[in-house]
Amino acid sequence: MDWAWVGENLGRIRGYALQHLFLTAVPVAAGFVLAFPMSLAAIRWRRLYAPLLGFTGMLFTIPSIALFVLLIPVTGLGPLTAIVPLTIYTLLILIRNTVEGLDGVDPDVREAAEAMGYTRGRRLLGVELPLALPVIVAGLRIATVTTVGLVTITALIGAGGLGRLIVDGFTLFFPTSVVVGVVLSVAFAVAADLVLLAGQKALTPWRAGRA
Amino acid sequence: MELVAQLLDWFTAPAQWTGSSGIPVRVLEHVLYTVAATGVAVVVGLPIGLAVGHTGRGGTVAVNTTNVGRAIPSFGIIVLFFFIFGIDPVPAVIMLVALALPPIVTNTYVGVRSVAPAVTDSAAGMGLTGWQVLREVEIPAAMPLIMAGIRTSAVQVVATATLAAYIGLGGLGRYIFDGLSQQVLNQVVGGAILVALLALATELALGRVQRLVVPRGLQARSRQAALDAKLT
C-alpha cells in the first residue's frame, strides 16, 4: 500500500466516488419509478405477474458485462450505456418485493380502511404502502447493494466510478489503486445498505424493536 | 445495420471456428471455468449447507456471508489476484468458487430448515436414523431450493468468468476485452452475444436438471425457489 499516493489523489478518488454514487442512485431511482407502476399493474391484473417476472428474470440472467457491451452500438461509450442495463437489473428485485409487500398486507386491515371510507388511491398511499414498506425497502437494499457492485464493472466501458481505480491500477501496474477501489466500493455498499435501513426505520416508527 | 453485417462476417469467418482463439475453444474454456468452479462449490457447499440445516447451528453466519458476498466487487478481486498470482487460472477459479458458494450454502440450509418439523419428527418416529432422515426426507424436500441455489451460482459464475479474460486468461471474455482494446466493435459485440447465450443456456439447462431431480409433488415450489434464489 502506498499511502502517500492515496493522500495525493484524494480529489480524484472523491470524484470517482461521486460518479459511483450517481451511477448507483440513478438506476435504482429509475428502476423504482418503472417498477412501481408495473407492480401495481401486476396486482390489479394478476395474469401479468408471472410473465413480468419471467421476462425481467431472463434479463437478469444476461451477464452485466455482456449487456453493457451490447448497448455500446446504441448509446456509445459512457454513462448512459451503464445506466440502462443497471436500471434493467433492478426491475426483477423491485417488482417482486413491491408486489409481495403489498400482497402481504392483512386483508382485514384493507377491509377496515375501505369501511372507513378510504378510496382505492388513498388506501394505497395511506394504508397499504406504509405497511408494505419494510418489504419494499428490503428490495431496494438488495437492488442498491447489487448495483454498487456492478457499477465497478462499468469502468470497463468508460463510464467512470470507483471501478476506474481498478482499471487504472491494472493498466499502470499499481496495486494500491486497485485496493482503494475495492475497499471503497465495499464500504459504499455497506453504507448505502445502512442508510436505507435507517430510512425504513424512520418511516415505520410503529415497528420499533422489530427488524 | 452495418454492424449486423459485420457481426455476420465475424460469426461466419472460417478462422473464427478453428484454432486456439476460435469460438469452440473459447466456449470450452468458459464452460471449463464454470464447471470447475460450480462443481467445487457444490462439493464444498452442499455438505456445509446440509450440516447447518440438519443441526440448525450456524445458520445466521451462512445467511450473512451471502449478504456480505454481494457487496464485494468480483472485478476488483480478479485484478488483485492478478497482482498476487499473475496470469494463473487456478486463483481465478478459486475466486469463482468463493462467489458460487454463498447461494449454494444458503439455499441448501434454508431448504433443509424449511422442512416441517412434524415431517422429520414422524420420520424419526418411524425409526429412521439421523442420516436416513437427511437422505430420505430432508434432501428430497429441500431439492427445489438446493437446485435453485446451484442454478443461481452457475449463472453468476458464467457472468464473472468473463472478467477472467481481463487479466489475460481465456474464455469468451477475450473477445470482449481484446475487441475493446483494439477497438473492433463487431468482435466486442459478438463476444457479448456469446456470453449472453451461454448464461441463458446454463439457466435453461439447469432448469431442466431441476425438473428431473425435484420430486414431482414439489415442482410448483421449485419454480418459486428458482426465483427466490436469485434475489436472496
B220–chain A nearest CA distance, Å:
13
C-alpha A191/C-alpha A197 separation (Å) is: 10
Contacts with B231 from chain A: Cβ below 8 Å: 92-93, 96-97, 139, 142
- Domain residue spans of chain B: 2-231
Residue type at A205?
A: P
% residues pLDDT > 90 (chain A) = 88
Rg (CA), chain A: 20
Number of Cβ atoms within 10 Å of the Cβ of B63: 16
Q: Residue B31 above 90 pLDDT?
A: yes
Q: Which of A60, A170, A182 sits opposite B73 (nearest CB)?
A: A182
pLDDT single digits (tens) A169-198:
999 999 999 999 999 999 999 999 999 999
Contacts of A82 in chain B (CB under 8 A): none
Reported as a single tens digit per residue, the pLDDT across B68-94 is 777 888 999 999 999 999 999 999 999
In terms of CA atoms, which chain B residue is nearest residue A153? B75
Question: Mind listing the pLDDT tens digit for each residue in A49-61?
Answer: 999 999 999 999 9
Cβ A69–B167 below 8 Å, yes or no?
Answer: no
Listed as own residue / partner, the contacts of B21-30 with beta carbons closer than 8 Å and 24 or more positions apart are: B21/B174, B23/B194, B25/B170, B26/B170, B26/B171, B26/B172, B26/B174, B26/B175, B26/B194, B27/B172, B27/B194, B27/B198, B29/B170, B29/B171, B29/B172, B30/B158, B30/B161, B30/B162, B30/B170, B30/B171, B30/B172, B30/B173, B30/B195, B30/B198
Q: How far is CA A24 from the centre of its chain?
A: 7
Please, which pLDDT band fits residue B223 given cuts at 50, 70 and 90? confident
* Spatial contact of A136 and A101, defined as CB atoms under 8 Å apart: yes
Q: For chains A and B, what is the number of CB pairs under 8 angstroms?
A: 120
B219: nearest Cα among B111, B130, B143, B121: B143
Residue A210's pLDDT is 67
Do B137 and B116 touch, CB atoms closer than 8 A?
A: no
Distance from CA of A43 to the nearest CA of B (A): 17
- Which pLDDT band holds residue A211 (cuts at 50, 70, 90)? low
Dihedral sign (CA B73, B77, B78, B83): positive
Lowest mean pLDDT among A59-68, B54-63, B136-145: B54-63
Which positions in chain A touch B195 (Cβ < 8 Å)? 63, 65-66
Domain B2-231 adopts which CATH fold? Answer: MetI-like fold (1.10.3720)
Mean pLDDT of chain B: 90
How many angstroms separate the CA of residue B215 from the nearest CA in chain A? Answer: 23
pLDDT tens digits, residue range A3-40?
A: 999 999 999 999 999 999 999 999 999 999 999 999 99
Chain B interface with A: residues with Cβ < 8 Å: 3, 67, 70-77, 79-80, 82-83, 155, 158-160, 162-163, 166-167, 173, 176-177, 180, 185, 188-189, 191-193, 195-196, 199-200, 203, 227, 230-231
Got the DSSP string for A126-142? IIIHHHHHHHHHHHHHH
Mean pLDDT of chain A: 93
Q: Which residues of A touch B193 (CB under 8 A)?
A: 66, 70
Minimum distance, in Å, between the CA of residue B76 and any CA atom of chain A: 6
Residues of B in contact with A148 (CB under 8 A): 71
Q: Does domain A3-204 have CATH number 1.10.3720.10?
A: yes
Cell readout for B81 is 489476484
- List CB contacts of B228: < 8 A, sequence separation 6 or more: B145, B148
Report how far residue A91's alpha carbon sits from residue A96's, in angstroms, rounded to the nearest whole number.
8
Q: What Rg do the C-alpha atoms of chain B give, in angstroms?
A: 20
Q: For residue B163, which residues of chain A lie inside 8 Å, CB to CB?
A: 65, 153
Residue of A nearest to B151 (CA): A61
User: Are B3 and A73 an interchain contact pair (Cβ–Cβ within 8 Å)?
Assistant: yes
Closest residue by Cα to residue B70 from B232, B212, B181, B220:
B232
